Amino acid sequence: MNPRESALPRPVAMRLAAAEYDRCAEMFRSLTPAQWAMPTDCPAWDVRQMAAHMLGMAEMAASIRENLRQQRKATKAAGSGGIYVDALTRLQVDERADWAPERITRRFAARGPKAATGRRRTPGFIRRRTMPVLQEMNGVREPWTFGYLIDVILTRDPWMHRLDIAAATGTEPRLTADHDGMIVADVVAEWADRHGKDFELTLTGPAGGTWRAGVNGPSWTLDAVDFCRAIARRPASTTVDDLLNTEVPY
């Protein structure tokens, strides 16, 4: 199995990264004290804890030293039988357990641009390397390149959590065709590649569009955000089983 690579042109991926950090910071500034304490669709986290994780990921992207520090601590915490990503996110949340929302907001606004710069400066020879740990997706353990992680997943992750926070707080996320529409189009292309079957999909809203493969597949018309949440195993008006039972990583 060939390692999964980013399908986004590098300049586009980096533009989306920088803009997504800005939009997350914008959302944090808009939240009320009560909204910071609301539960999210990630059962272990309220909004503040989710934002703490998002900040921890931005800190990893902004600094090689911090990246290595978090990796070492998470690897040790996971041990031989644990799940590394769970240990990593737990570390990011636990280390900021006493951080007030204002502190998270200020720090994220300061580190987001540095995270975008750090990702942009990652050299090609590193991005082309295959990550040492296989990732499980749709019941299969698959290899990823570091470029796929850096250019794609590290943008999809805060993007989906921004949608999580909007759902938790009952607010409308800022969505535009030139930003969110590009992320959704990349998600749809990967979703189609992963299942390889005929389909017709119309997604509505500012981030939507229409995609088709073949002529004999099922047809759906859905809100773009709802589609992305469904294939990320979030609560949605449709289910992954309806959508050819194919999950896409965030």
Examine residue 198 and state whether it is found in any structural domain, yes or no. yes
What integer pLDDT is reported at residue 48 of this predicted model?
A: 98
Q: Do 90 and 30 lie in a common domain?
A: yes
What integer pLDDT is reported at residue 25 of this predicted model?
A: 98
Q: Do 33 and 121 lie in a common domain?
A: yes
Examine residue 42 and state whether it is found in any structural domain, yes or no. yes
Q: Do 111 and 206 lie in a common domain?
A: no
What integer pLDDT is reported at residue 213 of this predicted model?
A: 97
Give every strand in the sheet of 219-223, ordered side by side.
209-213, 199-204, 219-223
Report d(CA 160, CA 72) in Å as an integer: 26
Q: Structural domain tally of the chain?
A: 2
Q: Do 198 and 77 lie in a common domain?
A: no
Domain boundary pick from 169, 198, 221: 169
Q: Do 107 and 161 lie in a common domain?
A: yes
Q: What are phi and psi of 177, to 5 degrees?
A: -65, -35
Helices (H), the chain: 10-30, 33-36, 47-62, 64-78, 84-94, 101-120, 124-127, 146-148, 154-169, 180-195, 224-230
Q: Do 187 and 99 lie in a common domain?
A: no
Q: Do 104 and 194 lie in a common domain?
A: no
Q: Do 148 and 181 lie in a common domain?
A: no
What integer pLDDT is reported at residue 180 of this predicted model?
A: 98
Domain boundary pick from 139, 169, 199: 169
The kind and range of the H/E element at 145 are none
Examine residue 104 and state whether it is found in any structural domain, yes or no. yes
Whole domain around residue 230: which residue ranges?
176-250
CATH code of the domain in which 150 resides: 1.20.120.450
Examine residue 234 and state whether it is found in any structural domain, yes or no. yes
Q: Do 249 and 222 lie in a common domain?
A: yes
Report d(CA 34, CA 183) in Å as an integer: 30
Are 142 and 135 contacting, i.e. CB atoms less than 8 angstroms apart? yes
Report d(CA 223, CA 206) in Å as an integer: 9
Q: Do 192 and 243 lie in a common domain?
A: yes
What integer pLDDT is reported at residue 177 of this predicted model?
A: 98
Q: Do 180 and 164 lie in a common domain?
A: no
The kind and range of the H/E element at 202 are strand 199-204
Q: Do 152 and 220 lie in a common domain?
A: no
Q: Annotate 83-100 with DSSP letters as a single string.
A: -HHHHHHHHHHHTTTT--
Q: Please report where in the chains the tokens 């008006």 appear, as a residue.
A: 237
For the chain, 250 residues long, give each residue's pLDDT as a single digit of tens.
899 999 999 999 999 999 999 999 999 999 999 999 999 999 999 999 999 999 999 999 999 999 999 999 999 998 877 788 999 999 999 999 999 999 999 999 999 999 999 999 999 999 999 999 899 999 999 999 999 999 999 999 999 999 999 999 999 999 999 999 999 999 999 999 999 999 999 999 999 999 999 998 999 999 999 999 999 999 988 999 999 999 999 9
